[in-house]
């Protein structure tokens, strides 16, 4: 059967999505963004990837988060996105905020990893081809490279913007001191850092404890949380065992060993609080993040449109009573 031409839902900006300002910038991002790390590679069916991307945009998700090596195989999530870009999203390019990154292992040899100018520039050129794009909205240094002079990595980011291949730049998983150097260098070169991307969720509150959130805000940068559901632990997926189609069972980055007896007990108890709030555990976990005003957006993953539909509902209640917050703290300190 020939696919009908995609037409975005007319009510896409009128179905509950909120847009939050990204640091001190002109950019508003959807409270919920979609990441393509898992579930969009060439091991997944194109039909299901396309369905999720259409569903996301139809529901107000304007920000899609990618990286050069998302798949598997490496590059294939960008290829999937590129096909959807060409066949569905092209008329909507200016309504989309698309990211990619380089910094992790991508191709063999000394120039396909870490933070050299050579790697970042070549990788972005490849990403643009795979995604059928002339430019990305934001390009990230995917991780701090302790061996490459930081100025080399940062100057590559500046030059990428000057070349028109990215409109903004960001940093991901940088330790606090390196992040400060990055904020200052980028600001001094008139390419202020738009976003810090870090792992932040109920089970991993390091960005708050280490002052990364506060530092981003002080430097006028937004903060975007990845793995907001701790790769699915903070959802109903594992409350009663390990489903055969889950990330743990599929042998992804989430390992069985991370579902310890203590974590299981914590998520079961958190689930009780979520139920009392009239939310699923996933909804509550996202709502908790969005209750922090320094969090610009959360990047969820999703293996189905139903999961995405559930996650979007988090926005309906992002306020917590003092009693709920105390009960959550109590569970997590056990
Ligand atoms: N900068 C970095 O270094 C970095 C690192 C990691 C991730 N990221 C970004 O962050 C994005 C999200 O990461 P993530 O996939 O780990 O996020 P996540 O949202 O914490 O986990 C996604 C997984 O949780 C489960 N899930 C999602 N919504 C659900 C719901 N409503 N109910 C029940 N289960 C639900 C699904 O698991 P099943 O697959 O088991 O169904 C899904 O694959 C990535 O795609 C990427 O863009 C960036």
- The response to whether residue 227 sits with its C-beta less than 6 Å from ligand 1 reads yes
pLDDT greater than 70 at residue 159: yes
Whose C-alpha lies nearest to ligand 1, atom 22?
A: 301
- The response to whether residue 236 sits with its C-beta less than 6 Å from ligand 1 reads yes
pLDDT greater than 60 at residue 256: yes
CA of 36 to the centre of ligand 1 (A): 9
Give me 147's structure tokens. Answer: 């061996």
Residue to mutate (ligand 1; options 113, 171, 302; most atoms within 8 A of CB): 302
Whose C-alpha lies nearest to ligand 1, atom 33?
A: 235
What would the pLDDT profile of 273-314 be if each residue is shown by its tens digit?
Answer: 999 999 999 999 999 999 999 999 999 999 999 999 999 999
Average pLDDT over residues 96-112: 98
Q: How confident is the model at residue 4 (pLDDT cuts 50, 70, 90)?
A: confident
Q: How confident is the model at residue 127 (pLDDT cuts 50, 70, 90)?
A: very high
The reported pLDDT for the residue numbered 273 is: 98
6 class by beta-carbon count within 10 Å (0-12 exposed, 13-18 middle, 19+ buried) = middle
Rounded to 5 degrees, φ, ψ at 22 are: -95, 100
What would the pLDDT profile of 71-94 be if each residue is shown by its tens digit?
Answer: 999 999 999 999 999 999 999 999
What is the average pLDDT score of the chain? 97
Atom of ligand 1 nearest to the CA of 36: 45
Q: How confident is the model at residue 1 (pLDDT cuts 50, 70, 90)?
A: low
307 class by beta-carbon count within 10 Å (0-12 exposed, 13-18 middle, 19+ buried) = buried
Specify whether the CB–CB gap between 65 and 298 falls below 8 A: no
- The response to whether residue 279 sits with its C-beta less than 6 Å from ligand 1 reads no
pLDDT greater than 60 at residue 63: yes
Residue by residue, DSSP assigns 236-281 as GGGTTS--TTSTTTTT-SS-GGGS-HHHHHHHHHHHHHHHHTT--H
Q: How confident is the model at residue 334 (pLDDT cuts 50, 70, 90)?
A: confident
The reported pLDDT for the residue numbered 178 is: 98
Give the other-Cβ count within 10 Å of 83's Cβ. Answer: 18
Share of the chain above pLDDT 70, in %: 99
Give me 14's structure tokens. Answer: 């009128």
Q: Which residues of 44-75 are buried (b: 16+ CB within 10 A; e: fewer)?
A: beeeebbebbbbbbbbbbbbbbbbbbbbeebb
pLDDT greater than 60 at residue 269: yes
pTM: 0.98
Whose C-alpha lies nearest to ligand 1, atom 11?
A: 35
Average pLDDT over residues 313-334: 97
The reported pLDDT for the residue numbered 183 is: 99
CA of 48 to the centre of ligand 1 (A): 16
Whose C-alpha lies nearest to ligand 1, atom 5?
A: 226
CA of 274 to the centre of ligand 1 (A): 19
Share of the chain above pLDDT 90, in %: 98
Q: How confident is the model at residue 2 (pLDDT cuts 50, 70, 90)?
A: low
The reported pLDDT for the residue numbered 252 is: 81
- The response to whether residue 99 sits with its C-beta less than 6 Å from ligand 1 reads no
- The response to whether residue 173 sits with its C-beta less than 6 Å from ligand 1 reads yes
Q: How confident is the model at residue 251 (pLDDT cuts 50, 70, 90)?
A: confident
- The response to whether residue 215 sits with its C-beta less than 6 Å from ligand 1 reads no
């Amino acid at each position: 059967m020939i696919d009908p031409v995609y037409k975005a839902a007319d009510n896409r900006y009128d179905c509950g999505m909120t847009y939050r300002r990204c640091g001190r910038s002109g950019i508003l991002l959807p409270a919920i963004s979609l990441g393509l790390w898992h579930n969009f590679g060439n091991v997944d069916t194109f039909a299901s990837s396309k369905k999720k991307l259409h569903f996301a945009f139809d529901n107000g998700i304007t920000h899609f988060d990618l990286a050069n090596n998302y798949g598997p195989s490496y590059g294939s999530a960008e290829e999937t996105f590129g096909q959807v870009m060409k066949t569905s999203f092209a008329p909507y390019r200016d309504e989309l905020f698309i990211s990619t990154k380089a910094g992790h292992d991508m191709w063999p040899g000394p120039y396909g990893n870490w933070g050299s100018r050579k790697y970042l520039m070549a990788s972005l050129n490849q990403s643009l081809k795979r995604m059928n794009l002339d430019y990305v909205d934001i390009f990230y240094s995917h991780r701090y490279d302790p061996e490459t002079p930081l100025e080399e990595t940062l100057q590559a980011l500046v030059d990428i913007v000057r070349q028109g291949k990215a409109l903004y730049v960001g940093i991901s998983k940088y330790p606090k001191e390196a992040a400060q150097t990055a904020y200052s260098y980028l600001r001094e070169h008139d390419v202020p850092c738009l976003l810090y991307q870090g792992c932040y969720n109920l089970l991993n509150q390091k960005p708050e404890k280490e002052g990364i959130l506060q530092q981003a805000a002080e430097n006028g940068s937004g903060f975007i949380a990845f793995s907001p559901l701790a790769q699915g632990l903070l959802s109903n997926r594992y409350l009663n065992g390990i489903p055969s189609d889950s990330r743990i069972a599929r042998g992804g980055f989430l390992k069985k060993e991370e579902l310890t007896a203590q974590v299981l007990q914590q998520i079961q108890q958190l689930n009780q609080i979520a139920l009392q709030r009239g939310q699923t555990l996933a909804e509550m976990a996202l709502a908790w993040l969005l209750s922090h005003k320094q969090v610009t957006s959360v990047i969820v993953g999703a293996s189905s449109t139903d999961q995405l539909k559930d996650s979007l509902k988090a926005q309906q209640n992002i306020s917590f009573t003092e009693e709920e917050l105390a009960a959550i703290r109590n569970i997590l300190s056990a």
